Chains A and B, each alone.
Chain A
């Protein structure tokens, strides 16, 4: 989608022009601010928010802090980043639990924003934290919304309260009220009420939502909004704020290519924090929202913290140590390569992971071309080898390669390419393990990214090298900026309940760095 650069791409382009300048004139700042305005508008940030934002950035950019700074351009990037974080709500916030159970959470939002799916995700997320959520089907409007919630509840493995069949019959206020009583009796500690989607201008349905709110007095009212919404975000958010007065926002469909616009608008206009982001169709594609990380994502400073967390959650430490050992001693085999690859696959979409690296947005083109099924093919090739071949790739002569190609449904060329790549990769790994810096095309050394192993493994599989300049520049810039941005989130008690998803401390990061063999 080359014609449609998103917010990140646009801003990266703007900053690139700025970075080459040593000193900023008022005209430079104006030009940049105009570009930012356009970029934000194209990313669907609401007009009034854009105006406000650009005027603040402009004021600060022309002030002392920039003219006295060592690198003015860098300073402007920093200002934009600061302002983005401020708008997005500053500190990350968590759900406020009621002192006396059950905690009642009500979901509201436009039709098709993804409330019902989100109810399931939220319930599953809470259940994983040893809560006992109860889903309540109070959307009696949309055909079969109740059935959908039932299915979702089953998938999430949580209880559901659905006394009414829905499809336009029944009183949602009564259902919600009964649900709270039911939860008290049965000792569910969290009640999640799914309400009917409504348009911001529909007074009657809005009243219904407000009645539900009055009847159950929820501890949290979450406003679910589609990340793809345009300028209407402001109107909608205001209407809902007046109608039901939500306490927090959930951003859904953040996995599409629209990112950031609506988040900025809603947070800025309503002053309500964004609590969660929903990033996919699976019930696990749900994460707490971190304003600073989102700002970094928007500015292409990468999202190292999330990356590390994903890595920590899915990486087997012993396994990684063993592999690091193997690199150092040159006993890394195709067998290890295979298990590494499988572990990598466990961590989820490689594309997503790469996208979190600083500067990765500069490689969007390459990312788009990156074919995940390549990994499956590679797996197939390795699995078609005998154990001996995997351990001693040297024995792979012509006829063996033909057999492997046939066994894996690929061609001899593919097999050759894999063997070559493997040799290159293991050579590179050896350098890394010995403390050197690998010569990875398109990637400079990234001090803030203790992920040398991952980079080494993934990178060589990419076809074709590309002049790394833009990416490198962004990466270097990111290194300084993430260093600064990382701290608040790491120290700020994290977001997770019971501390299971607390941001990694400096120590943890250091040890991660160590066990990844850097």
Chain B
């Protein structure tokens, strides 16, 4: 097994030095870039930290580490990560590119919600990918949620979404989560389809949350994904998945800052319980320590 790369590992050498010197800064920059923060955010963090170090006239790398953590925490904590699910039914639309873990996330999210005594119905509006409906059905069962399936293969996803919301309204189910097919943000036709799903649901009720699922291993392309999905689907929150891997998902800071959309949920494993709310403190701890 390759030892998993970690920011802390990369930072260890740097923080074990006696003083802060040119090498420290270079090591810090390299470490941040390797954690997918991207060149822009990395530059700004380094500039910030250089200023703080100059201001407090410190030469102790331990101080630098603390400052790094504080900077990251502060920047991540600027937005409110609370999910707004007060409407009844609260409709949650889940979107994202292919293979980021939308369906899995929905399963976990359903479990998370049923754990709090909410009733949940999931809508299998991914009518495109082979066996996506079955996959969702399995997850729904594990998560203790009802499922609305398309009546025929290749049915218009918007109609599945409609039926899901309708059922939630009719049966008084608290929360309706709608799975959509993965689509690359460059496919304008498919992105327009998302707009349609949105419009169809909005005719019935307000959409409580549109969650964009991002894979932690994604690099700077995550930003392009976020921008496109915000434009077409009106994303209100981000979900970061696969954080249990070796990737640290530094790009989410860039995404959060550039778009002003907060991270709301974090997925860290394959088990159904491995989905938690986003706490900047914990996230940064995972990064730095």
Please tell me if the beta carbons of A258 and B224 are within 8 angstroms of each other in the complex: yes
**Is B184 an interface residue, CB under 8 A from the partner?**
yes
**Which residues of B does A touch, CB under 8 Å?**
1-2, 4-5, 30, 33-36, 38-39, 97-101, 128-132, 134-135, 137-139, 184-187, 215-225, 227-228, 242, 244-248, 251, 258, 270
Question: Which residues of chain B have C-beta atoms less than 8 A from A145's C-beta?
Answer: 131, 135
Task: Give the dominant DSSP class at B's interface.
Answer: loop
The smallest C-beta distance from B198 to any residue of chain A, in angstroms, reads: 20
Please tell me if the beta carbons of B186 and A231 are within 8 angstroms of each other in the complex: no
The smallest C-beta distance from B141 to any residue of chain A, in angstroms, reads: 9
CA distance A256 to B229 in the complex (A): 13
Measured CB to CB, the nearest residue on chain B to A261 is B219
Please tell me if the beta carbons of A231 and B228 are within 8 angstroms of each other in the complex: no
Measured CB to CB, the nearest residue on chain B to A41 is B39
Please tell me if the beta carbons of B228 and A236 are within 8 angstroms of each other in the complex: no
Measured CB to CB, the nearest residue on chain B to A113 is B99
**Which residues of A does B touch, CB under 8 Å?**
1, 3-4, 38, 41-44, 46-47, 110-114, 116, 141-145, 147-152, 155, 167, 199-201, 203, 206, 226, 228-236, 238-239, 242-243, 253, 255-258, 261-262, 281
Please tell me if the beta carbons of A144 and B99 are within 8 angstroms of each other in the complex: no
Given contacts A41-B39, A200-B245, A257-B186, 6 further A-B contacts (CB under 8 A): A3-B227, A47-B34, A142-B135, A145-B135, A199-B245, A257-B224
CA distance A41 to B134 in the complex (A): 39
Please tell me if the beta carbons of A258 and B130 are within 8 angstroms of each other in the complex: no
Question: Which residues of chain B have C-beta atoms less than 8 A from A206's C-beta?
Answer: 1
CA distance A129 to B129 in the complex (A): 26
Measured CB to CB, the nearest residue on chain A to B244 is A199
Please tell me if the beta carbons of B135 and A230 are within 8 angstroms of each other in the complex: no
- List 30 interface pairs A-B (beta carbons < 8 Å), by A numbering: A3-B227, A41-B38, A41-B39, A42-B38, A42-B220, A44-B219, A110-B245, A141-B270, A143-B138, A148-B130, A150-B131, A151-B130, A199-B242, A226-B217, A228-B219, A229-B219, A231-B34, A231-B35, A231-B219, A232-B36, A232-B248, A233-B217, A235-B2, A242-B2, A243-B1, A255-B184, A257-B221, A257-B224, A258-B219, A281-B98
Please tell me if the beta carbons of A151 and B217 are within 8 angstroms of each other in the complex: no
Q: Which of A4, A116, A201 contacts B4 (CB 8 A)?
A: A201
Please tell me if the beta carbons of A232 and B217 are within 8 angstroms of each other in the complex: yes
CA distance A227 to B248 in the complex (A): 18
Question: Which residues of chain A have C-beta atoms less than 8 A from B247's C-beta?
Answer: 230-232, 235-236
Q: Which of B128, B185, B244, B246 contacts A235 (CB 8 A)?
A: B246
CA distance A309 to B39 in the complex (A): 38
Please tell me if the beta carbons of A147 and B134 are within 8 angstroms of each other in the complex: yes
The smallest C-beta distance from B187 to any residue of chain A, in angstroms, reads: 8
Please tell me if the beta carbons of B1 and A256 are within 8 angstroms of each other in the complex: no
Knowing A42-B38, A47-B34 are in contact, say whether A1-B227 is a contact too (CB < 8 A): yes
Please tell me if the beta carbons of B1 and A239 are within 8 angstroms of each other in the complex: yes
Question: Which residues of chain B have C-beta atoms less than 8 A from A3's C-beta?
Answer: 227, 258
Question: Which residues of chain B have C-beta atoms less than 8 A from A152's C-beta?
Answer: 130
Knowing A144-B135, A148-B131, A242-B2 are in contact, say whether A228-B97 is a contact too (CB < 8 A): yes
Q: Which of B4, B134, B244 contacts A144 (CB 8 A)?
A: B134
Q: Which of B101, B130, B216 contacts A155 (CB 8 A)?
A: B130
Among B38, B137, B139, the one with the most A-chain Cβ atoms within 10 Å of its Cβ is B38
Among B2, B138, B139, the one with the most A-chain Cβ atoms within 10 Å of its Cβ is B2
CA distance A206 to B228 in the complex (A): 35
